Amino acid sequence: MAQTHYENFPVLSRVLPRRLRPHVAAVYAFARAADDFADEGVRSDGHVAHAKSGLAGMRERIEQGRYGGDPVFEALGETIHTFDLPDAPFLDLLSAFEQDVTKTRYETFDEVLDYCRRSADPVGRLVLMLMGYRDDERFRLSDRICTALQLANFWQDVRSDYLDRGRIYIPGTDLRRFGVSEEDMPNAGGPAACPALRELIDDEVRRTLAMMREGWKLIGRLSWRYRWPVAMFAAGGTTILERTRANAPRPTLGDFASRLRLPFEFLKVVWSRS
């Protein structure tokens, strides 16, 4: 998993109403614990076995409703009980973490999207349920934001994912279409990156930005107290994508001015009618 995806949780928690903060923290702690197992699995065969065992134990607790005896699960159990949360989002998250232990390459963009459906989308759906929303349309728009956030981290972390975790999330079909090889990954995001890799990442960023902007519609469908937290979350992901654009020229005054316009785009969304 891209670590920054879950490190955004504490930021979101601080701007949500106080009554929701411990429950967002409980979901965050669960995701971090599972993420730690998944990242442990990339180190050696022995660590893979331990990671699989740890994730299987977490899955068993969720499926059996056993939340006692562990601080992370005790807090999570209270949140699940208080908000009547279903098991499915937590099991989907665990499925993605389990996949991270064994799968390091993706052949098609649809495969990557399926991973995001389980690694990222459940997070947004859980937060919406904590806010009191459970309708399909809000879930759909939340999925767009969350998948885009996950993809933003992938395109930003191409180099570190490859060198530190041995993972490549850029689809194989896209690598071949742009004539990029795995040997190019260590140079991603740096001055030594080949032109084809720069163009490939720029292409991935373009379609991810379109996905993120579609998800912005969610903000206008939330009550006023929730609009700013979600807008800030989406704005952060949009900024990551804009700064990851591989073909962007060196920053100029005009570039900084364009960044200043970003909050006004969100102002229009935040102040729109739901």
CATH of the domain at 123: 1.10.600.10
Please report which confidence band the pLDDT of residue 250 belongs to, taking 50, 70 and 90 as the band edges. Answer: very low
> Residues 240-250: what's their mean pLDDT?
69
Which residue, among 64, 142, 144, 48, has the nearest Cα to 97 in the 3D structure? 48
> How much is the CA Rg of the chain, to the nearest whole Å?
19
Distance CA 136, CA 60 (A): 28
SS3 262: helix
Quote the pLDDT of residue 13.
63
Burial of 186 (0-12, 13-18, 19+ CB in 10 A): middle
Quote the pLDDT of residue 236.
86
Please report which confidence band the pLDDT of residue 267 belongs to, taking 50, 70 and 90 as the band edges. Answer: very low
- Extract the tokens encoding 182: 């795995």
Please report, to the nearest 10 degrees, the dihedral formed by the alpha carbons of residues 203, 204, 205, 209 taken in order. Answer: 110
Regarding predicted confidence, which is higher, 9 or 91? 91
Please report which confidence band the pLDDT of residue 229 belongs to, taking 50, 70 and 90 as the band edges. Answer: confident
Residue 270 has pLDDT above 90, yes or no: no
> Residues 209-226: what's their mean pLDDT?
95
Structural domain span for residue 237 = 3-270
Q: Among all chains, which residue has been given the structure tokens 């001015």?
A: 257
Which residue, among 168, 145, 143, has the nearest Cα to 237 in the 3D structure? 145
Residue 1 has pLDDT above 80, yes or no: no
Residues 6+ apart with CB under 8 A from 172: 105, 106, 107, 108
> Residues 100-120: what's their mean pLDDT?
96
Q: Are 167 and 142 in contact (CB under 8 A)?
A: no
pLDDT digits (tens, 9 = 90+) for 149-203: 999 999 999 999 999 989 999 999 999 999 999 999 999 988 899 999 999 999 9
Quote the pLDDT of residue 16.
85
Quote the pLDDT of residue 20.
93
Residue 119 has pLDDT above 70, yes or no: yes
Residue 213 has pLDDT above 80, yes or no: yes
Quote the pLDDT of residue 72.
96
Burial of 48 (0-12, 13-18, 19+ CB in 10 A): middle
Residue 252 has pLDDT above 50, yes or no: no
- How many structural domains does the chain have? 1
Please report which confidence band the pLDDT of residue 39 belongs to, taking 50, 70 and 90 as the band edges. Answer: confident
Portion of the chain with pLDDT greater than 70, in percent: 82
Quote the pLDDT of residue 208.
97
Q: Are 152 and 169 in contact (CB under 8 A)?
A: no
